[in-house]
Amino acid sequence: MDSRKPISRRSFIKAAALGAASTALLAACGSTTGGSKASGKLEIFSWWTSGGEVEALNGLYNVFKSKYPNIEIVNSAIAGGTSSGGDMKAVLQTRMMGGDPPESFQVHLGGELIDPYLVNNLMEPVDFIYDSEGFRKVFPKGVIDVATYKGHLYAVPVNIHRANVLWYNTKMLADVGVQPPATWEDFITVAEKFKAKGLPALAVAENAPGFYGQVTETMIIQYLGADKFMNLFNGGTSWSEPAIKQGLTMALKVLDYANKDYLSTAWGDVNDLMIGQKVAMMVQGDWTPGVFWSKGFKDFGWADAPGCKDIYQALSDSFGLPKKVKNRDAAIAWLKVCGSKEGQDAFNPAKGSIPARTDADVSKYSDYQKWAMKQWTTNKIIPSIVHGSAAKLSFMTDYMNIINQLAAKKTDVDTTFANLQKAAANANFGK
């Protein structure tokens, strides 16, 4: 991709590459080719079942089928309940721990991959695939760093998503005569104008934990700052910082401007609120345009989430090679396609994400994605809690449940603040 340069000094999730160290590459053992004559079945686990996601995954499958026509793809996608795939992850963990893994599965690079899968020695290193396919030359150093654990590479990224984007209905903002808010204080001002018209300003879908946890992260980022936020996960920033409490206070206040049925609204249905002009804005990741495109909706705009100017909260969907798979050659073939230019250019235009590779065909991508590509090379890159790049799965779950209680029961801020500190202590960040 001519307009993007490899990131040499920013690991987009510094804290996520826990324990990474420089050691010699592990020699590949057994079959490493995944050649075109490979046959049998290839079971792929993911939580991609919504509009945009299905089209993107099918695009990747089509590339795979053209290269490996003798392999039958078994699409074991499970609707996740949230965009983070909670339901799918529960089924996957049971199978992985029970010694019955799929050939490969969707997982966020970073803490989500490391714990529980790498710490329990359930994955094979894939250094040999990076070497055979030349991936080290086309993935930015920051991406390679976060795919590395104890000196070895364990996953192939298929994309880069941005979590902290403000999406808005252009007609609704124009009718009220406002611009996208730059801070959460600005949001309150804008939201009051919508409230005067009897309209909620922000879409929230918290029938299950996760959605509002992502929104709350952007508030914590505004008050804490990007560097201190990133250091929350390596022990460099204390979870007792007053700025975190400021973020939680704002999170509780903002709920007054959300759709009243937010506790019964599912993450997968929230886009329809904006399409139907029932809410004006939402803070979501850039899987959102894929959903909009799949529904034929074009009247939307985007901006940095409030308080997140020049801050790119990144996550990456990736696939790895579990141990004890039934068809290792097919799994290797899949990983080669996931990291290929052809595969990424077939997947990402429909998904809304940008390619992890630096040499993609920019002409295939939307205006939003071209904007995101530029942001990726110029913004401060930080991780996401809810999307698994910042911390291990157990803390992610604790965090989402705590914020869910704040939203569902309007739990007082002091209790929420204390519960986050307890969860962070249990996670042993920096130790």
CA distances in angstroms from 154 to 6, 138, 273, 318, 395, listed in the order given: 20, 17, 39, 10, 21
- The pLDDT of residue 431 is 78
Q: Do the Cβ atoms of 109 and 137 come closer than 8 Å?
A: no
Q: Does residue 408 lie in a domain region?
A: yes
- The pLDDT of residue 85 is 62
Do 246 and 342 fall into the same domain?
Answer: no
Do 269 and 345 fall into the same domain?
Answer: no
Q: In the listed set 345, 360, 380, which residue is the last one of a domain according to the structure? A: 380
- The pLDDT of residue 35 is 59
Q: Rounded CA gap, 345 and 360, in Å?
A: 6
Query: Nearest to residue 142, comparing CAs of 391, 389, 398?
Result: 389
DSSP 354: B
Question: CB neighbours of 82 closer than 8 A, spacing ≥ 6?
Answer: 208, 209, 210, 211, 267
DSSP 366: -
Say how many domains are in the chain.
2
- The pLDDT of residue 13 is 44
Do 254 and 338 fall into the same domain?
Answer: no
Would you place residue 14 in the very low, low, confident or very high pLDDT band (cuts 50, 70, 90)?
A: very low
DSSP 118: I
Strand-pairing partners, residue 132, are none
Q: Rounded CA gap, 337 and 334, in Å?
A: 5
Q: How far apart are the first and last CA of the chain?
A: 38
- Quote the Cα angle for 327-331-336, to 5°: 150
Would you place residue 425 in the very low, low, confident or very high pLDDT band (cuts 50, 70, 90)?
A: very high
Do 69 and 170 fall into the same domain?
Answer: no
Residue listed under structure tokens 């000196």:
151
Domain that holds residue 259: 165-307+392-423
Do 415 and 275 fall into the same domain?
Answer: yes
H/E segment holding residue 167: strand 165-169
DSSP-derived secondary structure for 112-135? HHIIIIITTT-EE--HHHHHHHTH
Q: Does residue 387 lie in a domain region?
A: no
Do 189 and 78 fall into the same domain?
Answer: no
Q: Does residue 69 lie in a domain region?
A: yes
Do 126 and 171 fall into the same domain?
Answer: no
Residue range 168-218, pLDDT digits in tens: 999 999 999 999 999 999 999 999 999 999 999 999 999 999 999 999 999
Do 279 and 343 fall into the same domain?
Answer: no
Specify the CATH number for the domain of residue 239. 3.40.190.10
Q: Do the Cβ atoms of 383 and 227 come closer than 8 Å?
A: no
Q: Does residue 61 lie in a domain region?
A: yes
Q: Does residue 2 lie in a domain region?
A: no
Strand-pairing partners, residue 282, are 167
Do 174 and 258 fall into the same domain?
Answer: yes
Q: Does residue 402 lie in a domain region?
A: yes
Q: Rounded CA gap, 69 and 381, in Å?
A: 39
More confident residue, 83 or 245: 245
Model confidence at 331: pLDDT above 50: yes
Do 96 and 197 fall into the same domain?
Answer: no
Residue listed under structure tokens 């249905």:
269
Q: Does residue 398 lie in a domain region?
A: yes
Q: Rounded CA gap, 308 and 382, in Å?
A: 11
Would you place residue 78 in the very low, low, confident or very high pLDDT band (cuts 50, 70, 90)?
A: confident
Do 280 and 191 fall into the same domain?
Answer: yes
Do 355 and 209 fall into the same domain?
Answer: no
Q: Does residue 8 lie in a domain region?
A: no
Q: Do the Cβ atoms of 43 and 330 come closer than 8 Å?
A: no
Instruction: Label the pairing between strands 148-149 and 165-169.
Output: unpaired
Hey, CA dihedral for 147, 153, 154, 158, is it positive or negative?
A: positive
- Helices (H) then strands (E): counts for the chain: 18, 15
- The pLDDT of residue 87 is 80
Residue range 110-161, pLDDT digits in tens: 888 998 899 999 999 999 999 999 999 999 999 999 999 999 999 999 999 9
